[in-house]
């Protein structure tokens, strides 16, 4: 998918994820420093909260991964197919992705609902309400559903073989992200 | 019959270029439906398995590496290696091996290591008149050291899936990683004499010290991680948070590769690339959950025991299987698919899971560079505009060395096991 300039929505997503990551890092630091330097103020729930922050971050950023075609996928076969064929294969992929994202929202919501009903808390001192963590799943699902709808719409009605076939958005972007890496800010 | 249909579905979706997390998620959903379990189970498994504090060390280490990479640390490491290796024939090739090994101690990923070093060293080597295929080969191959020298993202995932202690796995990776680096170093040294590569002038002593001092802040990160974990001061996840914080401070204060205002953006990028892994982890674990319940691993154990397969035959067939799988899947996906099936079979066959972790990661290193689909090959071909054939020609001697090292790792367990046993006992 060709690269469009960031909209406000993209900026909000990225800034939010940046903040979640930064807080996670700082909390980890505070726990270590607190334990050795200021035992009176030490916290013990850092690793638990880091999980909640990072998983929310990952679920939000998965929306960006759809937009920039950053999800890891093998495209060797796809490259051999002519653009017109790729269009339909990609549309099919979008449909499966939509089914999965909607499933995330639907079943994720049921998990959140049950957790709210039972007033489920984490077992640490913090007694964190678990529904907030569980809500990351349907939350990410909603964002991905919207992004995949946009993607499907573009493949069906605004298909541009010059920019929307594989090979035109080649590495470094998605192939590299394929393998445990980080990349330049775009 | 079901198995065949299922395999057709799995590889069909992969061939359609569907994202791997989706292929695994869709397959897990189909499996749950076929075996009559409610679909909410998939969602429950996903969100429960992600709730793992060890897993969080992965995004935090990726964050640390992102700070270091954007911060200009790669250049400092290249400079210090170049300062001490000047005056030897083919020194830039040797610099590549050493700088990649140093960077591997900061970064847990092979492709990232190859990329960080390649963007600096490739133009330098070509300008000095090194053959391009050699330059590409040495960078691509040395990059693979990133996956086995701690911190290693692949070993963190292995530890989670196979229920092994991550610090122990990290220790196991050190000597095999250094052996690999030594083998590459020796080959480059020999090849440089044989083909008469250029010599860089030897720097005066003052400049050597200067470059070393400049690299010290960068080297503080791996030292903090190692001392923190093995001094029993912090957990792996805390070590990762500490590494990220140190890397951020070092990058902002000493190397200034990015500004304070760009910090959030660098973190978002790090989480973005960690996110691709975490989503695959999530759905692969749902898949693995079903796999374990289905009894496939138990059948595998019974089958190997019934056929009186010896340990070395088992390891050899696993090596071959992994090399073949490496043609289709990248490291994370291969690990998450294969380890849940193989891990229960290791103990009955007398293979130590820690030893096996290094065999596995080394196999995946080879998969990263072996033609036709190694990921490092494509990264290098892309950043250099060289045809893929040229990259393959350059990497071939290193590929042979990698296979030899794999043989040593597989059939000489003390290389892997000595260090963890020394520190933790049996």
**Rounded mean pLDDT, A89-97:** 92
DSSP string spanning B152-210? -HHHHHHHHHHT--HHHHHHHHHHHHHHHHHHHHHHHHHHHHHHT--BPPPPPHHHHHH
More confident residue, A137 or B382: A137
DSSP string spanning B258-271? S-GGGHHHHHHHHH
Please check the confidence at residue B200 and state whether its pLDDT lies above 70.
yes
SS3 of residue A121 by DSSP: strand
- From A108, which residue of chain B is nearest by alpha-carbon distance? B43
Task: List B residues 380-419 in contact with A (Cβ-Cβ < 8 A).
Answer: 382-383
pLDDT at A4: 62
Q: Do B234 and A32 touch (CB under 8 A)?
A: yes
**Rounded mean pLDDT, A165-183:** 42
Reported as half-sphere exposure (CB side, CA atoms, 13 A), residue A24 has a value of 37
Q: Which of B18, B44, B41, B20 is nearest to B30 (CA)?
A: B41
d(CA A133, nearest CA chain B) in Å: 9
How many Å apart are CA B113 and CA B180, to the nearest integer? 15
d(CA B294, nearest CA chain A) in Å: 23
More confident residue, A78 or B165: B165
SS3 of residue B106 by DSSP: coil
pLDDT at B328: 67
Q: Do A137 and B46 touch (CB under 8 A)?
A: yes
Tally the residues of chain B.
426
Q: For chain A, what is the mean pLDDT?
A: 83
How many Å apart are CA B209 and CA B164, to the nearest integer? 41
- From B381, which residue of chain A is nearest by alpha-carbon distance? A171
The pLDDT confidence band at residue B173, using thresholds 50, 70 and 90, is very high
pLDDT at B363: 87
Task: List B residues 280-299 in contact with A (Cβ-Cβ < 8 A).
Answer: 280
Q: For chain B, what is the mean pLDDT?
A: 86
Interface test with B, best of A15, A181, A183, A184 (most B CBs within 10 A): A181
Among the partner-chain residues B65, B241, B382, the one whose CB lies closest to the CB of A171 is: B382
- What tens digit of pLDDT does each residue of B365-394 get? 888 887 766 777 877 887 788 888 888 899
pLDDT at A175: 33
Chain A contact for B321 (CB, 8 A cutoff) = no
> Residues A51, B56: contact at Cβ < 8 Å?
yes
B208, burial (CB in 10 Å: exposed 0-12, middle 13-18, buried 19+): middle
Which of A134-148, A171-185, B151-165, B365-379 has the least mean pLDDT?
A171-185
Q: Do A100 and B66 touch (CB under 8 A)?
A: no
DSSP string spanning B229-283? HHTTSS-HHHHHHHHHHHHHHHIIIII-SS-GGGHHHHHHHHHHHHHHHHHHHHH
Interface test with A, best of B14, B56, B62, B252 (most A CBs within 10 A): B56
Please check the confidence at residue A186 and state whether its pLDDT lies above 80.
no
pLDDT at B353: 92
Helix (H), strand (E) counts: chain A: 7, 0
How many Å apart are CA B350 and CA A182, to the nearest integer? 37
Q: Do A133 and B51 touch (CB under 8 A)?
A: yes
How many Å apart are CA B273 and CA B271, to the nearest integer? 5
Q: Do A24 and B60 touch (CB under 8 A)?
A: yes
pLDDT at A182: 36
Cis amide leading into B151 (omega within 30): yes
- What tens digit of pLDDT does each residue of A116-126 get? 999 889 888 88
B414: which 2 tokens?
Answer: 């003390």
Chain A contact for B378 (CB, 8 A cutoff) = yes
- From B329, which residue of chain A is nearest by alpha-carbon distance? A74
B44: which 2 tokens?
Answer: 């429950």
The pLDDT confidence band at residue A181, using thresholds 50, 70 and 90, is very low
Please check the confidence at residue A113 and state whether its pLDDT lies above 90.
yes
> Residues B424, B168: contact at Cβ < 8 Å?
yes
pLDDT at B186: 94
- What tens digit of pLDDT does each residue of B284-340 get? 888 877 777 777 777 777 777 777 777 788 888 888 888 777 766 777 878 888 888
- What tens digit of pLDDT does each residue of B69-128 get? 888 888 888 888 888 888 888 888 999 999 999 888 888 777 778 878 888 888 888 888
B248: which 2 tokens?
Answer: 């951020």
- From A61, which residue of chain B is nearest by alpha-carbon distance? B272
């Amino acid at each position: 998918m060709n690269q469009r300039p960031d909209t406000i929505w993209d900026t909000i997503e990225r800034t939010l994820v940046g903040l979640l990551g930064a807080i996670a890092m700082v909390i980890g630091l505070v726990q270590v420093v607190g334990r050795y330097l200021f035992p009176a103020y030490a916290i013990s729930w850092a690793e638990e909260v880091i999980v909640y922050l990072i998983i929310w971050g990952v679920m939000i950023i998965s929306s960006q991964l759809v937009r920039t075609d950053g999800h890891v996928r093998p495209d060797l076969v796809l490259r051999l197919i002519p653009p017109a064929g790729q269009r339909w294969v990609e549309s099919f992929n979008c449909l499966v992705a939509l089914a999965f994202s909607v499933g995330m929202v639907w079943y994720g919501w049921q998990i959140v609902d049950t957790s709210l009903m039972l007033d489920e808390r984490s077992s640490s001192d913090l007694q964190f309400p678990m529904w907030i963590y569980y809500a990351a799943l349907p939350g990410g699902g909603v964002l991905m559903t919207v992004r995949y709808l946009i993607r499907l719409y573009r493949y069906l009605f605004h298909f541009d073989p010059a920019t929307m076939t594989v090979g035109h958005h080649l590495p470094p972007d998605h192939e590299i992200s394929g393998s445990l890496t980080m990349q330049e800010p775009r | 019959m079901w198995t065949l249909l299922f395999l057709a579905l799995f590889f069909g979706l992969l061939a359609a270029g569907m994202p791997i997390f989706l292929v695994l998620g869709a397959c897990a959903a189909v499996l749950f439906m076929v075996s009559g379990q409610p679909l909410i189970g998939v969602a429950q498994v996903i969100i429960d398995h992600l709730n793992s504090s060890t897993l969080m060390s992965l995004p935090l280490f990726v964050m640390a590496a992102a700070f270091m990479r954007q911060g200009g640390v790669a250049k400092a490491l290249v400079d210090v290696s170049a300062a001490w290796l000047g005056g030897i024939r083919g020194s830039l090739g040797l610099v590549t091996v050493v700088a990649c090994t140093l960077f591997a101690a900061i970064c847990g990923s092979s492709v990232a290591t190859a990329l960080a070093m390649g963007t600096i060293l490739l133009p330098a080597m070509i300008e000095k008149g090194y053959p391009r295929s050699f330059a590409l080969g040495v960078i691509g191959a040395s990059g693979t050291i990133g996956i086995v020298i701690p911190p290693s993202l692949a070993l963190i995932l292995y530890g989670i899936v196979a229920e092994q202690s991550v610090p122990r796995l990290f220790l196991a990776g050190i000597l095999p990683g250094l052996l690999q680096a030594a083998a590459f170093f020796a080959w480059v040294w020999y090849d440089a004499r044989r083909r008469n590569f250029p010599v860089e002038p030897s720097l005066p002593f003052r400049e050597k010290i200067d470059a070393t001092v400049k690299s010290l802040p960068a080297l503080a990160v791996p030292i903090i991680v190692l001392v923190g974990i093995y001094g029993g001061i912090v957990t792996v996840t805390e070590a990762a948070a500490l590494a990220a914080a140190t890397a951020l401070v070092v990058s902002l204060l000493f190397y200034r590769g990015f500004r304070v205002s760009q910090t959030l953006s660098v973190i978002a990028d790090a989480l973005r690339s960690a996110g691709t892994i975490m989503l695959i982890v999530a759905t692969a674990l749902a898949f693995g959950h079903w796999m374990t319940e289905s009894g496939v691993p138990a059948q595998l154990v019974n089958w190997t025991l019934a056929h009186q397969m010896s340990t070395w035959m088992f390891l050899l067939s696993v090596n071959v299987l992994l090399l073949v799988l490496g043609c289709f899947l990248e490291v994370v996906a291969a690990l998450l698919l294969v380890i849940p099936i193989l891990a229960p079979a290791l103990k009955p066959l007398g293979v130590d899971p820690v030893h096996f972790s290094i065999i596995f990661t080394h196999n995946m290193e080879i998969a990263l560079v072996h033609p036709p689909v190694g990921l490092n090959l494509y990264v290098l071909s892309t950043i250099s505009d060289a045809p893929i054939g040229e990259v393959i020609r350059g990497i071939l001697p290193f590929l042979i060395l990698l296979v030899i090292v794999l043989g040593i790792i597989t059939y000489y367990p003390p290389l892997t096991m000595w260090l963890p046993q020394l520190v933790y006992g049996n």
